[in-house]
Amino acid sequence: MMVMASLNCKPQDGETYWEINNIYREDKTPFKGLTEDIMQGILDYNFHFIKKGDSLYFDLPAKFSIGLSSFKSLSQLQIAKTDYYQMYKQSFERDTFKVMFKDLATMTESKNTVLEFVRISKAEYEDHIKDELLEQKAVAEKINAFKLQLKASPQIVLEPLQKLPQKSLAIEDDQGKAITLLVPKEIELKKSGQIKTQQFGAIKIGTFVKNAVVYDIQHLKKNYGLKQLAIWVSTDPATFHLDDWMKENPKRIIFKADHGDLTGYELDYDDKKQKAVIRSVFCLKYKKVGQAHVFLYADVYAAQFAGNYDPLKEMNEILNFNYLMLENITIQ
């Protein structure tokens, strides 16, 4: 994660230095599957902060501050996709700082989760910041090298497109206004009953998000669950520009852009393998219809596949299905 870190906070009486130490269920139930990867992702933010009085001054993963009296949400830690994390307590206990939240994204009974920080010395803190900056530089170089490799030898393999027989269907935005689509005859559209959320620039869309509705694409023969293309609709007054979205994430690479229809990769860095990897593959179509933002979007994450094998074959299979649907749906 690219950050701007600094140590501008001058030492004063009462300053203490803290780093993230662990994340776990309150009842010690182990994380499983995709939840384990998501929680590890929170640890990977590598939070470091200086406590001064009633305020926390963060240097990692970015430079920001939080007042303890107003610290009510994990979104204040700049953690992505916190819609289903309901913070209910934070407390200092000698050399430990705990942030407690309910993980409402899981279907398991065990939901209460603890984000734990521990106190360290000033010297350790400064060493950690310096080491992190050096690590970030090395990681950025490896990711940039991988980008060049993917441009020379793409790992997305798109099959030749087929033109499918179509029919007209109408969906509604959250205000009940109709949006007409031309879609393949073999699919139906249904309001999603799954817990899902996605963010497009400043526009957040999810199952329980205000001004938003999500439609699942139901196919007669294919069902890839959360990996399958969906239609995300929002009447959020925020603006969206596709060009800005393409550039906002330095780890996002566009593989193909055809009249505004996009396919591409999002990259990550695997600490265990010490190399840049493909985190996910995605496809996207966007159109503004009246006051509604309409997105056709799906991403397929490597972490969604179990086992110690290269999941690219399965990722390409699902991406090709999603891309076929995307290219055969017209937002009118």
For 74-96, the pLDDT digits (tens) are 999 988 777 789 999 999 998 99
Is it the case that residue 168 has pLDDT exceeding 90? yes
Residue 112's pLDDT band (cuts 50, 70, 90): very high
Mean pLDDT value across residues 219-244 = 95
Mean pLDDT (the chain, rounded): 91
For 39-78, the pLDDT digits (tens) are 998 999 999 999 999 999 999 999 999 999 999 999 999 8
Distances, alpha carbon 86 to alpha carbons 18, 89, 111, 113, in Å:
23, 10, 10, 10
Is it the case that residue 6 has pLDDT exceeding 80? no
Q: What is the pTM of this model?
A: 0.76
Could you say which DSSP state residue 149 is in? H
pLDDT for the residue numbered 11? 43
Q: Tell me, which fold does domain 16-127 have in CATH?
A: Lipocalin (2.40.128)
What is the rounded CA–CA span in Å between residue 208 and residue 323?
Answer: 27
pLDDT for the residue numbered 305? 77
Q: Which of 40, 252, 41 is nearest to 146 (CA)?
A: 252
Is it the case that residue 12 has pLDDT exceeding 70? no
Q: Any idea how long the chain is?
A: 332
pLDDT for the residue numbered 10? 43
pLDDT for the residue numbered 259? 85
Tokens 């309150």 belong to which residue?
A: 26
